[in-house]
Chains A and B, each alone.
Chain A
Amino acid sequence: MQGGTRLGFVLLLTPLLLWLGLLIVIPHIDMFLVSIKERVGVGEYDTSLANYGTFFAETLYLWTFLRTAVMSILATAITLLIAFPVSYYIAKIAKGRLQSALFLLCLVPFWVSELVRTFGWMILLRETGVFSSLLQWAGLADQPVEMLYNDAAIMVGLVYTSMLFMVVPLVTTLESLDNAVIEAGYDLGGNGFSVLREIVIPHAMPGIVSGCIVVFMLSLGNYLTPTMLGGKDSLWFTELIYAQFIVRFNWELGAAFGFMLLILSSVIVWATLRLTGQTLRDTLG
C-alpha cells in the first residue's frame, strides 16, 4: 500500500517535473550560459560579463528597458482602474443571467487569437480606418487622421489584451465578499467612498495584486501588440531581444537582454508584494 501511494505520487509528479525542468529550468540555465559568453573571434568564446556591460553602456538599451517597465506599470494601473468597476458590477450588482452574460462578454474576445484582435484595433485606428472616416464624415477632421503607431495606441492594445486577466481574479475575490459586510459598512455610518476604501478594497487586495502581477508580466513580455500598434520604432524591450536573436544573430547579447527582463519583472513583482503587504501564497491561493 505504502509503495503503491509512493508510485502514484511519483507518477503524478513526473509531468510537473518534466515541465519545470525541460521548459523552464534547463532553457534558463542554458540562456544564462549563453549570456555570459563573449565572442572574441570566429567560433571563439570567453566567459565574461561583457554582454551585460553592453546593455548598461548603451543608453538606447537602458532607455527602452525603463520605458517598457514604466509603460507596463501604467498599462497595469489603467487596466485595474477600468476592470475594478466592471468586476464590481458583475460580482455584486448584476444578478443571475445578467451576471453570467456580462462575464461571458468579457471572455468572448479571447476566443479569437491575439493577432486577430490586434488587427481589429488596426482597422479601427489606422489612417483609412473606421475612426478616421467617422471623424471626416462628421466634419471634425478635414483629412485622414493616423491614430496608429504612437504610445496611446500601444496602451489601448495592452489594456484591451489584459482586461480578462484582471477581471477574473477581481470577480472571484469580490464575489467572496458577503453582501451583509458591505451593508454593515453602510449601516454603521459609512458612505460609498469609505466602504470602498475600508472594506471592499482590503477584501479584494489578493485579487487586485494577483491580477496586477499577471497583467504586468503579460504587458512586459508582450511582443505582438507593441510591434503592431506601435510600429517598428515602438521601442519595446522584447523587440530588442527579437532583433538580437533573429536579425543580428547575436544570441549572446539577446540572452543577456532576456535575463535582464527576467530580473526586472521579478524585482517589480517582489516590490509590489512588499508594498501591498501581500504574500505570494495569499495572492495565488
Chain B
Amino acid sequence: MTPDLECTGLSRRFGDVKAVDDVTFSVAPGSFFSILGPSGCGKTTIMRMIAGFLEPSGGDIRIKGRSMLGVAPNKRPVNMVFQHLALFPMMDVAGNIGYGLRRAGLARADIARKVDEALDRIGLPGIGARKIDELSGGQKQRVAIARCMVLEPDVLLLDEPLGALDLKLREHMKIELKALQSAFDTTFVYITHDQSEALVMSDQIAVMNRGVFEQVGSARDLYYRPETAFVAGFVGDSNRWRGRVERMEGGALEIRTENGMLLRGAAHGRALGPGDVADIYVRPEAIRLAQNEGELARFENRISGRVTSLLFNGAASRILVAGPGGGEEIEVTLPQSGEFARTGKGDTVHVGWSGDQSNCFPAGK
C-alpha cells in the first residue's frame, strides 16, 4: 500500500543552520502520526515544507506517491490547522468552512449542503451564521478542523492546535481529536512539544531533536524502550545519573555513579563496556516503594534512605529519597493506594527497581 505521506532525505537549511537534516519517514493511510520535539527542533519547518510554504533544500515529499516538489500550497492535497487556528474573522462560520469549496468552484447549493454536513460531523449543527469571535475555544478548534476536512485532503497537518487551550479543555480535545480522526478516516500529521498529546493520540510518534528524528515508534516503544538518551529524557520523567561501568555480564551492567552509588542496569543492546561512562535513566514510576526491605528482595537495585521532600501533586505526587551517606536523590512516584498517605519528610523508606528498568546509554558530551 502506498503511504499517504512519504518524506525521503528531507533537508532544509537556513543560512548555515540545518533546521531539518536528512529526515526520512512515511505515514500509513488513515493513521495518526505525531512529530514530538522541543521548540526549535525543526518540526514546524517540516510541517511548512509539507504544506508548501517552504521549499526543501534537499529530499522529496510524496503524497499518495506523487512528488510535491514545486507544487504551490493551494494545489496540494494537504490542509493545515494552524497553531492559532487562523480562522477568517471577517467571515461567519459557514463562510469559513465553505471558503475552500468556493475556491474549488462548487455550486452554491452543494457548498451549503457540505457545510451543513461538516457542522453535523463536528457536533455543532446550526451555528453556520455565527461569527468567529462568538465561539468558544473548543468550538473554534472544531470549526478549524471542519474547514479543512470539507476539502477531503489526503493528509491533514495540525500545528500544535491545542496550545492555546486551557488544561481541562486540552484534555477533552485530545480525546475529541482522536475521535474526529477516526470519524473522518484521514491521515493526521500532528506536531507538538507536549508529550502527553502525542502519547495519547498517536499511532506513531517521531521524536525530533536538532533537525533529526531520534526515534520513530509507537507510544509504548518510546516510553518503555527509548533508543537514545534524548528520547529517554524527553518522553516521560526520569531520574538521571552518570557513572562508570564497572562490570558487565551479558546485557547487565554494574555502574558506579559519580557520588559512589552502585547501580545495576541494562544496556539493551547498546555499545557499552567496562570503563565507559554511561548515563542511567530510571523512571520514577518504575521504582517500587516499600515499608520494609523484605518486599524488595526480587529487585536488583535496593536502597534504603530518608525522604528529603514530598512533592504533592495529586495522582502524580513524588517523593525524593536520599540514600545513606548522601549520594544521589532518587525521585519516586508515591503510590496513591493509601499505604504511604502518612509518609512525610525525614521518614525512612526502602526503594527498589529491577536492573531492566535502568536504561543505560553511552554518555553524551
Contact = CB atoms under 8 A, between A and B. Distances in A.
Interface of A: 178, 180-181, 183-191, 194, 198-199, 202-203
B100 interface: yes
Nearest to B144: A184
Nearest to A182: B86
A27 B103 CA distance: 55
Interface in B77-103: 78-80, 82-84, 86-91, 99-100, 103
A183 B53 contact: yes
Contacts of B104: 189
A181 B74 contact: no
Contacts of B12: none
Given A194-B103, A198-B99, A186 B86 contact: no
B147 interface: yes
B80 A184 contact: yes
Contacts of A183: 51, 53, 73, 80, 82, 86
Given A184-B88, A187-B73, A198-B90, 5 more contacts: A178-B86, A181-B89, A187-B80, A188-B103, A203-B90
Contacts of A186: 72-74
Contacts of B90: 198-199, 202-203
Given A180-B82, A180-B83, A194-B103, A187 B74 contact: yes
A93 to B, nearest CB: 14
Contact of A188 (B53, B84, B89, B99): B99
B95 to A, nearest CB: 9
22 contacts: A178-B86, A180-B84, A180-B86, A181-B86, A181-B87, A181-B89, A183-B73, A184-B80, A184-B86, A184-B88, A186-B72, A186-B74, A187-B80, A188-B99, A188-B148, A189-B74, A189-B100, A189-B104, A190-B99, A190-B103, A191-B74, A199-B90
A188 B101 CA distance: 9
Contact of B147 (A180, A188, A194, A199): A188
A190 B74 contact: yes
Contacts of A189: 74, 100, 103-104, 151
A189 B100 CA distance: 6
Of A183, A186, A188, A191, most buried by chain B (CB within 10 Å of CB) is: A188
A199 B90 CA distance: 7
A96 to B, nearest CB: 15
Contacts of A187: 51-52, 73-74, 78-80
The 9 closest A-B pairs by CB, nearest first: A189-B103, A202-B90, A188-B100, A180-B86, A184-B86, A180-B82, A181-B86, A186-B73, A189-B100
B216 to A, nearest CB: 26
Nearest to B159: A180
A110 B104 CA distance: 46
A283 to B, nearest CB: 15
Contacts of A194: 103
A190 B72 CA distance: 11
Nearest to A199: B88
Given A183-B73, A194-B103, A188 B82 contact: no
